[in-house]
Amino acid sequence: MALLTVLCYPDQRLHKVAKPVAQVDARIQKIVADMADTMYDAPGVGLAATQVDIHERIVVIDVSDDQNELMVFINPEIVWASPEKKSWREGCLSVPEFYDEVERPAEIRVKALNLKGEEFELEADGLLAVCLQHELDHLQGKVFVEYLSMLKQVRISQKMKKRLKELAGER
């Protein structure tokens, strides 16, 4: 499998809305495998295809302690969200080293396809619910920093641009 390049905020490609997957085939299964390798290598607990410049509705997640319980969501959509909200400290592979509180529904139900193209539903709370909502935001072209104040968004954007220039200068 291959490691994919993760786009860094404020890259405009992170704001593209992902298109539905028409058919779960070998191409999609390879993308999922490469995304999983990339997520585990980072290391992270979730990755949306948008973050690796693939604009299709694919998400991989593993919130297990041992990182050995990969979950795959193809064409995921939230079909129910609890009115109760919960605040979590979030981070993102596309915004490395930045973490902040984001309030989201405490529980959700998601409908998606698995790697065989079979539809399933899953109810989630806790870290899994947060991770699912965070990754599904990516598929809609939204990055978690957009939940923060404009001042924080500008600061993070400036710091990320500076970091990217520094990295480019090292090459």
Annotated catalytic sites, by residue? 135
Identify each DSSP E strand in the chain by its residue range: 46-48, 58-61, 71-81, 85-92, 95-105, 107-113, 119-125
- 55 marked as part of a ligand binding site: no
Q: Are 124 and 108 in contact (CB under 8 A)?
A: yes
Identify the CA nearest to 104 among candidates 77, 134, 79: 134
- 92 marked as part of a ligand binding site: yes
Identify the CA nearest to 15 among candidates 44, 40, 39, 48: 48
**Site of tokens 């490469």:** 34
C-alpha 168/C-alpha 171 separation (Å) is 6
Report helix, strand or coil for 22: coil
- 138 marked as part of a ligand binding site: yes
Beta bridge partners of 61: 46, 71
Both tokens of 171, joined, read: 């090459």
Feature table: binding site: 92, 134, 138
Which residues make up each annotated binding site for Fe cation? 92, 134, 138
